[in-house]
Amino acid sequence: MSENIESVLNETRLFEPAEDFVARARIKAVDLEALHRKAESDYEGFWGDLAREEIDWHKPFTKTLDDSRAPHFGWFTDGLLNISWNCLDRHLAQRGDQAAIIFEGEPGDTRRISYRELHAEVCRFANGLKAQGVQKGDRVVIYMPMIPEAVVAMQACARIGAIHSVVFGGFSAEALRDRVNDAGAKMIVTSDGGHRGGKVVELKQAVDKAIDHGCPSIEKVVVFKRCGNDVVMRKEDVWWHDVIAGQADQCDPEWVDAEHPLFLLYTSGSTGKPKGIQHATGGYLLNAIVTNKWVFDMHDGDVFWCTADVGWITGHSYVAYGPLAIGGTEVIYEGTPTVPDAGRFWKVCQDHGVTIFYTAPTAIRALMKLGETWPEKYDLSKLRLLGTVGEPINPEAWMWYHTVIGKERCPIVDTWWQTETGAHMIAPVPGAMPTKPGSCTRPLPGIIADVVNEEGHPVGANQGGLLVIKKPWPSMLRTIWGDDDRFRKTYWGQFGGKYYLAGDSARRDEDGYFWIMGRIDDVLNVSGHRLGTMEVESALVAHPRVAEAAVVGRPHDVKGEAIVAFVICKGERPTGATAEAMLKELREWVSQEIGPIAKPDDIRFADNLPKTRSGKIMRRLLRSIARGEEITQDTSTLENEQVVLQLQGKA
């Protein structure tokens, strides 16, 4: 591990927020210090007071933190609330006509949806869900394009206490089926298609295929008409417009206790099976609210745009819930950044007056490559704050974002967090502290993060180690759906249940700023999306001609990591034109099994995989080969040294 934990960055630039930004900021340096001090001196009081101030409770809680069943922590356990009420109803009197969502489709169609309208849509669909037999606690899979109805469906589930599980629309039918079955979902909400990359993505067709391959728990499929592409309506199918026809625009919320599961969201771990991360209602809502205030400094009049899809946690906390819970106005854009041209993101910012923009380093790097002429065509003067998430941002991309997009005027918030943490954990509070390119800065108030060695002892400044969180926090994951053992082992196993293990390595500099160095497990980060190497390996070996496969990551200047697969075929090792054909076929195969994001960039064929005497695949060696590095590892134990040459493409 020490190899990838060695820190190579030596970035010393410091950027102070502009005076006018500080003057308006919700949290200034003194406020931030006060928050930290309160969290340190009275941890439960800190979170309890925030929960009372920020959330409208139907019945107040009396217990802030229940740690009697650690590592299953409970927050605000005897309180009753509804998150949809907190996101919609409570704003109606003040903000009924304010835009909640400004939508732009990829073809250019736009819609402005006020809080009153969004409330009515959510209520109608919630009533419709009940009429279709969905009850509190039932799981509903949402497989939608990035359109307002995706948010409506999530909010409607929450309104009636159903547990949603959003599956990213870029996942294949097979990946969808596995998630539906693991969750035991009763219903899928989908659409005929979605516009992405100038094409129609046939979502309904993928749902049909998933069901044909076995989704025994599914009783109904609700289909929203977005693109008008041909779909076959089958016995389990019902149109969205028929579901809401005649339904009232009022729907009493189901008051649930704070620990009631709000959603499952599948994410990759180090095995082939994705984990259904389970979040609870009250704690999740609290961190979504406070981070939108602290980190995004959202004010009345701001137009917030988080480019993430609702299929990822970022689209949950910073599209579907957080911005609405604080009565904000947000942009939702359906498509890709380069349709019809590389100026699209900047045009959306200009046309809708975006003031706060939040995206992934991979998008920044891709747009940076396309040149400055694109952003220069548009008026970006309304932007006042920029954010990034999903992977470490390299200082070069940070500087480009800062100068070309932010015109040296906008602070950049580099936010470190995970599906499991529910909300930002380590991130700047932009009016209260300077930032450094490539650092996610300091843990937020109430988040007790540290960098420790294998024994759990804190390491010194600038030394690499394991990133841990030492105290429970409200929006932490509650368990892995259907696999509590894995939950205990993965996150709480290493330090006897004392600390939460994030699975990232990090260092902390002499100012206490954190620098994330990468994953410590076999998880890839491709364009900010988490993929288990085992997931891709399982997909490859499911191909009838593949005997064995090993997958590693290799640095990629746009995607962060590229996927390199080492494949052993049954029978002859493919070479020349046969290898070319096989490579194409396997890339397509993985795309079908998991989705296009998991397609290997490179596939190498060999007679065997390099293994140790005990039979373990020599992953470190494979990583060196994938990177084209000189081999320094001892390969003398290999049965067949020729294999290394084959994998290097030299034999």
Q: Which residues of the chain form contacts with ligand 7RM (CB under 6 A)?
A: 267, 312-314, 389-392, 414-419, 440, 502-504, 516, 519, 525, 530
CB of 364 to ligand 7RM, least distance (A): 12
CB of 299 to ligand 7RM, least distance (A): 23
CB of 416 to ligand 7RM, least distance (A): 4
Nearer to ligand 7RM, 152 or 449 (CB): 449
Nearer to ligand 7RM, 27 or 425 (CB): 425
Cβ atoms of residues 103 and 148 within 8 Å: yes
Nearer to ligand 7RM, 303 or 397 (CB): 397
Nearer to ligand 7RM, 211 or 440 (CB): 440
Rounded CA-CA distance 147/150 in Å is 6
Nearer to ligand 7RM, 193 or 503 (CB): 503
Rounded CA-CA distance 632/644 in Å is 12
Element (H, E) at 537: helix 533-541
Nearer to ligand 7RM, 80 or 306 (CB): 306
Nearer to ligand 7RM, 104 or 504 (CB): 504
CB of 570 to ligand 7RM, least distance (A): 35
CB of 153 to ligand 7RM, least distance (A): 21
Instruction: Give bridge partners of residue 443 from the DSSP assignment.
Output: 426
Q: Please name the residue that has the structure tokens 């309208």.
A: 117
CB of 530 to ligand 7RM, least distance (A): 4
Write out 139-208 in H/E/C secondary structure. EEEEECCCCHHHHHHHHHHHHHCCEEEECCCCCCHHHHHHHHHHHCCCEEEEECCEEECCEEECHHHHHH
Rounded CA-CA distance 429/28 in Å is 8
Strands 163-166 and 261-267 come out as parallel
Helix 115-131 with 148-160: angle, nearest 10 deg: 60
Using DSSP's 3-state secondary structure scheme, residue 476 falls into coil
Please, is 641 exposed, middle or buried when counting C-beta atoms within 10 Å of its C-beta (0-12, 13-18, 19+)?
A: exposed
Q: Is the peptide bond before 253 cis (omega within 30 degrees of 0)?
A: no
Q: List, in order, residues 6 or more apart from 584 with CB less than 8 Å away.
A: none
CB of 270 to ligand 7RM, least distance (A): 12
CB of 472 to ligand 7RM, least distance (A): 18
Nearer to ligand 7RM, 205 or 418 (CB): 418
Torsion, Cα 395 399 405 409, to 10 degrees, reads 120
Nearer to ligand 7RM, 134 or 426 (CB): 426
Nearer to ligand 7RM, 177 or 530 (CB): 530
Nearer to ligand 7RM, 138 or 504 (CB): 504
Q: List, in order, residues 6 or more apart from 220 with CB less than 8 Å away.
A: 132, 133, 186, 187, 188, 236, 237, 238
Among the listed residues 411, 402, 384, 363, the one whose alpha carbon sits nearest the alpha carbon of residue 304? 384
Query: Which token pair is 349?
Result: 């910012």
Rounded CA-CA distance 345/375 in Å is 9
CB of 394 to ligand 7RM, least distance (A): 11
Nearer to ligand 7RM, 76 or 514 (CB): 514
Cβ atoms of residues 102 and 332 within 8 Å: yes
3-state helix, strand, coil in the chain (%, to 5): 35, 25, 45
